[in-house]
Each structure stands twice: as C-alpha cells, then as structure tokens.
Amino acid sequence: NMIMTNTGSRAWAKMTGENVGKPIAIVLDNMVYSAPHVNGVIDGGTSQISGGFTVEEAQDLANMLKIGKLPAPAKIVQEQTVGPTLGAEAIKGGLLAFGLSFIVIFILMLVYYNTSGWVANIALILNLLFTVGILAGLGATLTAPGIAGLVLTIGMAVDTNVIIYERIKEELTKGKSYIAAINEGYKRSLPPVLDGHVTTLLTAIILFYFGLGPVKGFATTQIIGILLSLFCGILVSRWISDIFTRKGKHLEYFTGVSRRIFQHAKYKFIEFRKTAYIISFVVLALGIASFFNGFDYGVEFDGGRSYTVRFDRNVGKEVEQIRNDLKTAFDNENPSIKTVGDASTLEITTSYLVKDTRPEVDSIVTQKLFAGLQKHLPQGYSFAKFDNADESSTAVGKIGSKKVLPTISDDLKKGALQATLFALVVIFLYIFIRFRDWRYSLGTIVALLHDVLVTLIVFSFARSIVPFPLEIDQHFIAALLTVIGFSMNDTVIIFDRIREDRALSPSTPLAQTINRAINETLSRTIMTSLTVFLTILILFLIGGEVTRGFAFAMLIGVITGIYSSVFVAAPILLDLGSGRKSEAKGKIATSVGPKPETRPEAAKS
C-alpha cells in the first residue's frame, strides 16, 4: 500500500484519471522496475499494486518506492539569480517608518520625562547604533521582517527606562531625597525589568529556533535589541545619571503632563472581574468558532502558481504598484514578487484559486495575471502575445510558469505549533521558578492564550472586511510569538508589584493588594505599551504591504495584552485563592491584638 499526502492525493487522482488502462512506470536511475496498469481513478490517497509477486519481489518493489524518501545528493539543473522581494517603495516605506518611529519616541520621552528623557534617548540611540552595527558585522540581509524588527526595537528599547523612571517618580512622590529615590528606583525596578526582558528573550530565541528564512532575521534583530536594551537601559542610563549627580545636577523626571496622568490612581479593576470573565468566555467561544470559520493561508502553507514575466523596461521602482494591481485582480490575494536577473523580469507567485480543481483554472489565473499587469505592458498588448511570450527570447509577457506545491506546509505548521506550545511551557516554568507559586504561572498562561485567541479571531472573521490581506504565514507566527513575549512584560510588572506589596503588608486582603498593585503600575503599563503601539502603528500605516499583516497582528496583541494583564491574569490570581492562608492569619492577628497594625507610608511601593 502507498499512502499519500493531501496534495499528492489530488495530483495522483488527476494522473490516474487521465491514464485509466495505461501503464505507469516505476523508474529508478533510468531503469523501469515495474509498470502496473491503472484500473481506475484513485482518489482516496491510498494505492495498491497487485499481481503475482513472490514475497521477495514485493519487498524489493516496496523498498524501491521508499527510496524517494531517502536523502539524495542535489544536482543543479537550472540556475537563476533572484532579486529582492522588497521593491524600492517597500524599502522606502520601511525606512520611513523606522525614522518616524524614532522621532515620535524621542519626543514622547522628552514630553513625559523632562530632562531624564534625554538620558532615555541617548540609550535609545546607542541601542540602535549597536544593533545596526552588530547586524552589519554578522552580514545580515535587509528583509521586511528585519525592518519590522528594527522598528519594534525602537519601541521596546525605552521600556527599561520607562519602568525605572516610573519607579523613581513614585519614590520622589513619597518625599524621598533625590539620591535615595534614584537608588531605590533602580534597585526596585531591576526584578521586573529582568523578568520582562527574559520572558521576551525566551520567546525570541524560540522563534529563532523554529522559524524559517526571513523570520530568523526578525528574531535575530529582536534578540540583539532586547540584550542591548538591558545594557543601555540599566548600565548606560545609570552611568549618565551618576555623572549628573556627581556634578551636583539633578535630572527632572516630571513634566506638567506626567504630573497629572495616572498619579494617585485608585480605579477598582478587580470589581469588574466577573464582567471580564464573561468577555473571556465569549473570546473562547469565538476562538473555537474561528477554526470552523477558517483562515487565509499564505503561499508557504497552501502553495500556488508561480509566473515569470518579462517587461520591456526596468520595473524595479514599480513593484509596489504592480503588487497592488495584482492584488485587485486576484480578488484581494496578496502575491509574492521577486525580481529575476535584472529588474525587467519578475517572478510572481500567488495562491489565488490554488484549491480550485477545475480543468480551466490555470487559464483563468493567467487571464487574471494579464489583467493585473495590463497597465505595465505595452499599449494595446494582447493576451495571446502575453501568454506566448516564451516563444521568443525578447518578447514581453509570461515566459515561464510552474505550480508551487506547499512543500514546507506540514513542517511549517508543525514548527509553528511546537514553537507556540514550547513558548507557553517555558514561560509557565519561568514564572513558577521566579514567583514560587503555580497560580502566577496559570494566570499568566490563561492571559497569553486570551491574547492568542483574540488575534486568531480577528484574522478569521475580519479577513473579508479589512482592505488588506490577513494571512496565516511566517510573519503572522512571528507576530504571535512576539505578542506572547510582550504581553508577558505587562503581566510580570503587575505580578512583581503584587509580590512586593504582599511581602510588605501580608495582612492586607489580597483583592485590595492586587487592586493597589495594578494602580501603582498603571502608568508604566500604559507607557511601555504606548511606545510599542506607536511604533507598530507607524509601521502599519507607512511600512508597506509586506509588513502590514505582521503590524496588524502586533497592534491587536498590544491592546489585548494590556486588557489580559489587568482583567484576566490578576483576577485569576485572586480567585484561585493565592495567599488565603496569610490573609487568614492576618485577620486572626488583627482580631486578637489591641490595635490593627498601620502600614507606614514610607513602606509603600
């Protein structure tokens, strides 16, 4: 028996249907070993060769059929120079997004953190210079995910400074001296900074290990950026602050804006947890429904058709316009475009109608290709000339085509699933080790699954609504793992504060402690999310079509990450009863003692 994959089954059914009654040769090294006749269409994916074989002959034939699965040396039968996937406009858009993101974050740091914002900006500049320098030293290639990684690095590079500065502002608000506030701010901020960066780093490493091709470039950029963020945010920033302190100059951490926002916040988040649970159950139901509703998959998952098209001029600067025209012609399917040889020849790959089994579908897709390219072909050029351009060495039009099978589909899907599950397990173990309580780990994982489900829901149900493609591809997997790592950052900051407050005041009811911790960290939660959100929004708006799906997934993840940290992870910690024993002890102590112990104001954090 021979069992085939779904793709092989379709091809085999078509082949056997066209050759009923005819022999199909089994050939190895140009020698025919067997030629069984086709008795009928084989459409079930399982084939059987029958005949008067001895056991030895049957085993030899079975081994012959298995040989195709064994590794074999490659022989070059065709050589082709492939140009960049990114057109000039895409590169311009990506670099413009990079520059604009830098300017926005630069100004935001000054507006919100006054003169200390200059220190954060110096650390940001050094981070970017080091990142670009290391990538250049490694001989890294500029890719769309690589540009996205650089843009994301801008947003995440200032996170360390934001967390430290917010803690310093808290200490100053309590009335501590400038030097004491600086020392306490850096000391108290170190655990959440390390925890947040380590979890993000772990997901980036997992993405690098399981990712393919360009996604490895994104993961590499992210790993370098995270490590440099720690170096520049902690060591360089502290060094610059100490220089000012030794000279008797004090950096300002407040502005008129930052004094009025989120100061002395007393929102009752925990009281809304039942409503949040209802929303989470709706998210769970829609998340399950999204798998039945389906997704749009990229070419690497579904396969497609690839066409080599020759033009009468250099079209390198028209790639983005050609992409948009073809996207319209292919009913919003986003094609992959590469230059071949010089910029007057393009290789265009599309998954449009790839699952359609009608005999005439190849002709339909070719006509759609012609319609999408018509504005870029000579005036009055006919379809007949376009379709038969391969008959001449200079003619304009389609000079080659081939069916692209989803050869990496199974490996990619398996790798994506493994990467996501592995990331969740690693994060669960890390949080358990750091907090020594499985409830923290479980709350974190539920919050992360919530973020993943929301992203999947949007990509499933909004794919026919939004004017840009929402495809499940490598970029989406990269965005999903990045969302998991970044969402962890917010959750860890809140959990660290809950742990700190519980240690300082174990007799306080857990609900009150959690609520206070969320309010105390609200400013840094909003600011760390805002810096990333702004950079990703800029990438989404002007970064080009190639990175739009990635940026959209990240935007969803940043928003849901804040919600899940506050309304999912923290309430679960409360309802699972973490610390009930210490609460009970606290209540007994206050009931028998002469007077309840008052928590000193200076001990609050």
Mean pLDDT of 124-148: 78
Residue 88 has pLDDT above 60, yes or no: no
Residue 89 has pLDDT above 70, yes or no: no
CA 111, CA 98: separation in Å to the nearest integer? 20
Residue 79 has pLDDT above 50, yes or no: no
Q: Clarify whether residues 325 and 269 are in a common domain.
A: no
Q: Clarify whether residues 222 and 118 are in a common domain.
A: yes
Does a structural domain hold residue 82? no
Reading the block at residue 137, the tokens are 């030293």
CA 110, CA 116: separation in Å to the nearest integer? 8
Q: Residue 597 — pLDDT band, cuts 50, 70, 90?
A: very low
Q: Clarify whether residues 228 and 199 are in a common domain.
A: yes
| Contact status, residue 504 vs residue 564, Cβ threshold 8 Å | no
Domain boundary among 377, 404, 431: 404
pLDDT tens digits for range 449-474: 888 899 899 988 988 787 777 777 77
Domain boundary among 404, 419, 452: 404
* 125 closest CA partner among 99, 147, 148, 163: 99
Q: Clarify whether residues 279 and 400 are in a common domain.
A: no
More reliable by pLDDT, 457 or 175? 457
Q: Any idea what the Cα angle at residue 343 is, between residues 341 and 349, rounded to 5°?
A: 80
The burial class, CB within 10 Å (0-12 / 13-18 / 19+), for 452 is: buried
Q: Clarify whether residues 359 and 379 are in a common domain.
A: yes
Residue 76 burial (CB count, 10 A): 5
Q: Residue 73 — pLDDT band, cuts 50, 70, 90?
A: low
Does a structural domain hold residue 592? no
The values of phi and psi at residue 343, to 5°, are -80, 10
CA 493, CA 443: separation in Å to the nearest integer? 14
pTM of the full predicted structure?
A: 0.69
Does a structural domain hold residue 570? yes
Mean pLDDT of 179-205: 85
Residue 508 burial (CB count, 10 A): 17
Q: Clarify whether residues 26 and 136 are in a common domain.
A: no
pLDDT at res. 286: 92
Does a structural domain hold residue 423? yes
Q: Clarify whether residues 185 and 270 are in a common domain.
A: yes
Does a structural domain hold residue 430? yes
| Contact status, residue 24 vs residue 39, Cβ threshold 8 Å | no
pLDDT tens digits for range 349-406: 888 887 777 888 888 888 888 888 888 888 888 888 888 877 777 788 888 877 766 6
Q: Clarify whether residues 15 and 126 are in a common domain.
A: no
pLDDT at res. 457: 92
Number of helices (H), then strands (E), belonging to the chain: the values are 23, 10
Q: Clarify whether residues 47 and 180 are in a common domain.
A: no
* 105 closest CA partner among 547, 529, 478, 563: 529
- CATH number of the domain that 42 lies in? 3.30.1360.200
Residue 144 has pLDDT above 70, yes or no: no
More reliable by pLDDT, 488 or 121? 121
Does a structural domain hold residue 298? no
Does a structural domain hold residue 153? yes
Q: Residue 484 — pLDDT band, cuts 50, 70, 90?
A: confident
pLDDT at res. 600: 41
pLDDT at res. 289: 93
Residue 342 has pLDDT above 70, yes or no: no
More reliable by pLDDT, 136 or 567? 567
Q: Clarify whether residues 362 and 469 are in a common domain.
A: no
More reliable by pLDDT, 63 or 423? 423
Residue 414, domain extent: 88-250+265-290+410-583
Does a structural domain hold residue 604? no
Q: Clarify whether residues 538 and 567 are in a common domain.
A: yes
Domain boundary among 404, 432, 466: 404
pLDDT tens digits for range 212-260: 556 677 778 888 888 888 888 888 888 888 888 888 788 888 887 777 7
Count of structural domains, the chain: 3
Reading the block at residue 279, the tokens are 């929303």
CA 323, CA 127: separation in Å to the nearest integer? 34
CA 544, CA 533: separation in Å to the nearest integer? 17
Sign of the C-alpha dihedral computed for residues 523, 529, 532 and 535 taken in this order: negative
Q: Clarify whether residues 236 and 131 are in a common domain.
A: yes
pLDDT tens digits for range 3-58: 777 777 778 888 888 888 888 887 766 677 777 888 778 877 777 777 766 777 77
- CATH number of the domain that 336 lies in? 3.30.70
pLDDT tens digits for range 263-318: 667 788 888 888 888 998 999 899 999 989 888 777 666 677 888 888 888 877 77
pLDDT tens digits for range 436-455: 888 888 888 888 888 889 98
pLDDT at res. 285: 93
